Structure 1
């Protein structure tokens, strides 16, 4: 199970008022059955048969009857064993999300999301209790109760929503790289041009220092990437940019940046910030490439969410997915068809054709949005403080777990220590009236505009 699917399942749990429980399989890899013959050296402590005691252990071997930790195929064998059992209990899954098993009954449903030996159970209480009983009958299990920690995410359950954060992980990363007492800044990176002449990561000049091998640069980037991929989309672009300089060279190749964020039911579940592999000769070309990549992600998201919802008996409307694009020329070309001109004739038709076909089949609906209102800019460029905070609030506002008919939203400010200051990460959860309230463990704010005064790094 990947992080995107897990975020969607958490949003589904909140929007449908479902329960979430976590179970751990004890020595899961030992349950797998081997499909081929594997031999190993005789381990220390194993008693030799009488007829082999006279022979040296070095010339003897033993054949494995079961899967064992350390084998390359152990994970696959465990998955086969688990899926075989769950399918025999009338669970269903498919190739779109093979680690998600769903069982529906007349009174509800249960979803079992598998990550190695961790089983997240999401659904109605009775069906979850039945699933826990079935698992304990077949495997030795640890019942960990309500899901509070999974895949490195801290999960807090409230009456009206779910709060997901990584405060403990963030503190460990800061302490590991001696940044726990650093002075925070307003944005993750400076706002300046990154062209060849003004690139702030240019080769060393006079009175400048280059990081030496004693600085664990790549390890620090890896720590940030886990945050950016799980709960901190606001640092995705800065982390992606820094990752390019892991060899202390000048990688500027005039390539554009692709950035997008998808929300499902108000929840930000998928986002990306990545340098394009092609050199685009115009902004229209670059936007066309980015839109092509976003549509590919959109197709998988639609398939995954529809499968889970339909298998669970949740009624959904199959409407086109709206994708907002801030390049008017790109939107016009996609809606009116491929326009051949001196500026576009070199663009490979596949970038247009795929998106146009999705739009024709009513799977996506490309709409124009002003650049100043496009939150995807958070993933493509360095922004001034005011613009960054505006888009950051928009994206974090999308991390919302809400019911379809309720309009009251509670904003929980999760505190994460960054340097010697407090950073407040915003997540929304559902309520019951038309009032928009902000809840903090220190204050209660009434106006959303006051949030900008509380956002800091």
Structure 2
């Protein structure tokens, strides 16, 4: 079972390393002509996210976690009960392990250092929908439905195959799109959908080759792929329990 938590006012926990000054708010009891020197980060500072990450990492390492050298947002802790795994994305935390007691201890530790919002068993994390019944199912059903709706294809007939049969895409089309940004945004959303939809990975990879100068044929193929999703938007990954 994985558990989800959110850290309140995350960026305010980081300490600034540079000398940064700010004008006081109107009405603050500060002598005229004086300024404030920041001790901690504020939202809007360019280094706020980095300082927060350093502060969180230092606390987790001190608690006994090891940081993955391949994925820096992944932390692992070996204990007598097994392995605790903590995944963090900015201020969202996903925690899993074999011991409910140790998971509760980690959450208590984080709450004592930063104040967290305990969201209980994870059901939704960064657009991923998680259910645990005879195994763990991870889908992006809502995310896929949002793509379909935003593309204006809610009432369309689902396509039976991802890409149009017999269509060969290339860089030699002579009808470039007047708004290439719309194509790039749609392909970008489909790339994120790849997390749980390996069945469309090849097609999305093909479409992503033309984001520099997309043509009408490319957007037509992309819309066709979205039509295909309409009939299978609830599919995803399933990891059975053994």
TM-score tier (shorter): 0.7 to 0.9
Deviations 1:357-416 (A, max 9, x none): xxxxxxxxxxxxxxxxxxxxxxxxx9xxxxxxxxxxxxxxxxxxxxxxxxxxxxxxxxxx
TM-score (norm 2): 0.82
Does residue 238 (structure 1) correspond to residue 196 (structure 2)? The answer is no
Partner-residue secondary structure (3-state), 2:188: helix
C-alpha change, 1:430 and 1:218, in structure 2 (3 Å) is: closer
Alignment partners' CA distance in 2, 1:174 and 1:193: 22
Partner-residue secondary structure (3-state), 1:224: helix
Structure with the larger RCO, 1 or 2 (CA within 8 Å, 6+ apart) = 2
Shift in Å at residue 68 of structure 1? 1.0
Map of 1:238-317 to 2, 5 A cutoff? 238-246=203-211, 247-248=213-214
Does residue 143 (structure 1) correspond to residue 114 (structure 2)? The answer is no
C-alpha change, 1:216 and 1:37, in structure 2 (3 Å) is: same
Does residue 129 (structure 1) correspond to residue 104 (structure 2)? The answer is yes
Asked if the contact 1:34/1:67 (under 8 Å) is kept, the reply is yes
Asked if the contact 2:144/2:233 (under 8 Å) is kept, the reply is no
Alignment partners' CA distance in 2, 1:238 and 1:168: 21
Alignment partners' CA distance in 1, 2:27 and 2:183: 45
Shift in Å at residue 211 of structure 1? 4.5
Deviations 1:173-216 (A, max 9, x none): 11111011222222111233638xxx597324xxxxx6543982
TM-score (norm 1): 0.46
Alignment partners' CA distance in 1, 2:13 and 2:180: 44
C-alpha change, 1:190 and 1:44, in structure 2 (3 Å) is: same
Alignment partners' CA distance in 1, 2:81 and 2:207: 51
C-alpha change, 1:102 and 1:183, in structure 2 (3 Å) is: same
Map of 1:209-224 to 2, 5 A cutoff? 211-213=177-179, 216-224=182-190
2:146 counterpart residue number: 172
C-alpha change, 1:423 and 1:111, in structure 2 (3 Å) is: closer
Alignment partners' CA distance in 2, 1:136 and 1:178: 43
Deviations 1:424-453 (A, max 9, x none): 526444367xxxxxxxxxxxxxxxxxxxxx
C-alpha change, 1:89 and 1:236, in structure 2 (3 Å) is: same
C-alpha change, 1:80 and 1:27, in structure 2 (3 Å) is: same
Does residue 47 (structure 1) correspond to residue 28 (structure 2)? The answer is yes
Does residue 35 (structure 1) correspond to residue 35 (structure 2)? The answer is no
Map of 1:52-451 to 2, 5 A cutoff? 52=32, 55=33, 61-124=35-98, 125-158=100-133, 160-192=134-166, 194=168, 202-204=173-175, 211-213=177-179, 216-228=182-194, 230-246=195-211, 247-248=213-214, 418-419=229-230, 421=231, 423=233, 425=235, 427-430=237-240
Partner-residue secondary structure (3-state), 1:236: helix
Please provide the CA RMSD for this pair: 3.0
Shift in Å at residue 127 of structure 1? 1.2
Asked if the contact 1:39/1:64 (under 8 Å) is kept, the reply is yes
C-alpha change, 1:192 and 1:131, in structure 2 (3 Å) is: same
Alignment partners' CA distance in 2, 1:201 and 1:166: 34
Alignment partners' CA distance in 1, 2:61 and 2:208: 42
Partner-residue secondary structure (3-state), 1:234: helix
Give unpaired runs (5+ residues) of structure 2.
222-227
Paired residues, number: 231
1:21 counterpart residue number: 3
Alignment partners' CA distance in 2, 1:39 and 1:430: 54
Alignment partners' CA distance in 1, 2:147 and 2:167: 29
Whichever of the two has the greater Rg, that structure is: 1
